[in-house]
């Protein structure tokens, strides 16, 4: 096989199932950190083929982005002709406008950077809000996987009588899709974010849904404040403890523990970011996207 799947050692366990599914040579890259703070990336040159998929989820992106670019350069030096970045979680999509005077639009700068180093991008449900398409900011072809079919299957198999709840208008796109697939009712709330950890969510009249199991769904769980604030409203309204589903579980600080302590019955995520809450496996659709970009059969 003319294909290598590479990931940073111990960072993206999904790389093993992706390599197996694509019948690619699997290898890892190691990062050596010098005392002065610089990094050196080391690969196993004998495992590098002309087409390479780099699996690197971009959660906590700043410490990994420079090694990732160094890896891309190293791979090209060792003969890689085509470099596909498979980043199940794509960072810097939420800074999609200038929220305060003096700030930059990070989503654009980040996209320029990645576009210079890779030939194509595969990702899962990027946070497209004011930017409507990755093509607006990425100069390379991108392929987006939608987790909704897998999430709907998970809900169908694990939750009785679900009521789907989206915490803000941005989640409406996912909630409507999920509701159609799961044939479940849904409501979308209104959120006001005043700061990184200061979130207010308004909940409409929900008493009629007391016999349902609330399923909070969001694309990203970061501090968990959006979900925690929603949980406290649902509790006051007498609804049962909700199942919280996020596609990308970043869980900044103690967010996972805090969410459970706030009253989530269970917290479930996809494996775009490795975490003990992963219950939705994205391997198959990610590999289908890779096959389509690489024009592979099977």
Determine the Cα–Cα distance for residues 140 and 148; give it in Å rounded to an integer.
25
Binding mask 166-185 for ligand R5P (x = CB under 6 A): -xx-x---------------
Q: Based on the shown chain and the rule CB under 6 A, indicate whether residue 218 belongs to the binding site for ligand R5P.
A: yes
Q: Based on the shown chain and the rule CB under 6 A, indicate whether residue 289 belongs to the binding site for ligand R5P.
A: no
CB of 175: closest distance to ligand R5P in angstroms? 11
Out of 199, 239, 244, 286, name the contact with ligand R5P by CB under 6 A.
199
Out of 212, 219, 249, 275, name the contact with ligand R5P by CB under 6 A.
219
Binding mask 73-102 for ligand R5P (x = CB under 6 A): ---------------------x--------
| Contacts within 8 Å (CB) and 24+ apart, 4-7 | 4/47, 4/48, 4/49, 4/51, 4/52, 4/53, 4/80, 5/52, 5/53, 5/55, 6/43, 6/47, 6/48, 6/52, 6/53, 6/54, 6/55, 6/71, 6/75, 7/54, 7/55, 7/56
Determine the Cα–Cα distance for residues 286 and 190; give it in Å rounded to an integer.
32
CB of 76: closest distance to ligand R5P in angstroms? 34
Please, which residues bridge with residue 87 across strands? 123
Number of continuous H segments (helices) and E segments (strands) in the chain:
8, 15
CB of 171: closest distance to ligand R5P in angstroms? 6
Q: Based on the shown chain and the rule CB under 6 A, indicate whether residue 125 belongs to the binding site for ligand R5P.
A: no
Point out which span in 108-116, 218-226, 276-284, 285-293 binds ligand R5P (CB under 6 A).
218-226
Total interface residues for ligand R5P by CB under 6 A = 14
Q: Based on the shown chain and the rule CB under 6 A, indicate whether residue 225 belongs to the binding site for ligand R5P.
A: yes
**By C-beta, is 162 or 167 nearer to ligand R5P?**
167
Q: Is 37 left (phi over 0), alpha (psi -120 to 50) or beta?
A: left
CB of 227: closest distance to ligand R5P in angstroms? 6
Determine the Cα–Cα distance for residues 63 and 208; give it in Å rounded to an integer.
47
List contacts with ligand R5P (CB under 6 A): 94, 167-168, 170, 199, 218-226
């Amino acid at each position: 096989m003319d294909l290598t799947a590479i990931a940073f050692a111990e960072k993206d366990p999904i790389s093993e199932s992706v390599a197996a599914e694509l019948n690619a040579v699997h290898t890892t890259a190691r990062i050596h950190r010098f005392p002065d703070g610089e990094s050196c990336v080391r690969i196993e040159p004998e495992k590098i083929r002309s087409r390479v998929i780099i699996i690197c989820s971009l959660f906590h992106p700043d410490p990994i982005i420079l090694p990732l670019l160094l890896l891309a350069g190293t791979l090209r030096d060792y003969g890689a002709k085509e470099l596909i970045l498979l980043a199940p979680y794509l960072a810097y999509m939420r800074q999609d406008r200038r929220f305060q005077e003096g700030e930059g639009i990070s989503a654009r700068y980040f996209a320029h950077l990645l576009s210079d180093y890779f030939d194509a991008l595969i990702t899962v449900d990027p946070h497209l809000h004011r930017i409507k398409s990755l093509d607006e900011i990425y100069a390379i072809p991108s392929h987006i996987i939608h987790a909704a079919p897998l999430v709907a299957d998970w809900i169908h198999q694990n939750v009785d009588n679900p009521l789907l709840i989206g915490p803000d208008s941005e989640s409406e796109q996912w909630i409507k899709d999920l509701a159609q697939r799961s044939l479940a009712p849904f409501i979308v709330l209104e959120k006001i974010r005043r700061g990184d950890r200061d979130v207010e969510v308004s909940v409409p009249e929900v008493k009629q849904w007391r016999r349902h199991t609330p399923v909070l769904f969001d694309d990203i769980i970061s501090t968990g404040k959006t979900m925690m604030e929603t949980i406290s409203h649902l509790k006051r309204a007498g609804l049962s403890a909700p199942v919280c589903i996020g596609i990308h579980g970043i869980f900044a600080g103690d967010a996972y523990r805090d969410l459970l302590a706030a009253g989530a019955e269970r917290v479930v995520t996809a494996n775009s970011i490795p975490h003990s809450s992963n219950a939705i496996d994205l391997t198959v659709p990610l590999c289908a996207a890779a096959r389509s970009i690489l024009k592979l059969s099977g």
